[in-house]
Structure 1
């Protein structure tokens, strides 16, 4: 999974304007983020038609605020610059919950 900082730009809209993306918001201190992190490679493989990008919320607070991301871990799906789904709250998430979320968005 690429980190937002790997792109060398400050605007997530520029990065996500073409293609399909799943954005993962986390913080280093967040135990619920640490809970889902080991499953992220499996999720990336399962949904490989999406580019996965991680955002450390604490390092990107302006963007998180702009997107309304206060609870973590959270996931946002963007296709060609448009948000098409979000799983944003402060609850612990299982791999199955993330799969159900992604499937509900892509199977609309």
Structure 2
């Protein structure tokens, strides 16, 4: 399962059901470029989680709504409700542990 691109228009629908992780990132962000392959790897292994990514430069409304000031920021939702938000680079093990709490 790949990481799907989500936008301001589709974010609510894309994260409405089950456990979802959204990676808020930008092309110019070094730590984001380190985080992306980790999220990609995890999406291959954790098929019971929906993985999304949002380019904050192209989609300013959702990050603003969530008060995202630093990237990468990873937002975990369960059935449409935010259950966790983490900022900065995190290892696959850290993200796996985080997500397993909500499954």
Alignment TM-score > 0.5, same fold: yes
TM norm structure 2: 0.81
Cα offset for 1:13? 1.8
TM norm structure 1: 0.78
> What is the CA–CA distance in structure 1 between the aligned matches of 2:66 and 2:10, rounded to whole Å?
12
Provide the residue aligned with 2:17 in structure 1: 18
Structure 1 segments of 4+ aligned residues over 6 angstroms from their partners: none
RMSD of aligned residue pairs (Cα, Å): 2.0
Unaligned runs of 5+ in 2: none
Provide the residue aligned with 2:95 in structure 1: 98
Pick the structure with more helix per residue: 1
Provide the residue aligned with 1:70 in structure 2: 69
Q: Considering only CA atoms, is the larger Rg found in Structure 1 or Structure 2?
A: 1
Cα offset for 1:11? 4.5
RCO higher in structure (CA 8 A, sep ≥6): 2
**Aligned positions, number:** 101
> Is the contact between residue 33 and residue 72 of structure 1 (CA under 8 Å) also seen in structure 2?
yes
> Is the contact between residue 36 and residue 95 of structure 1 (CA under 8 Å) also seen in structure 2?
no
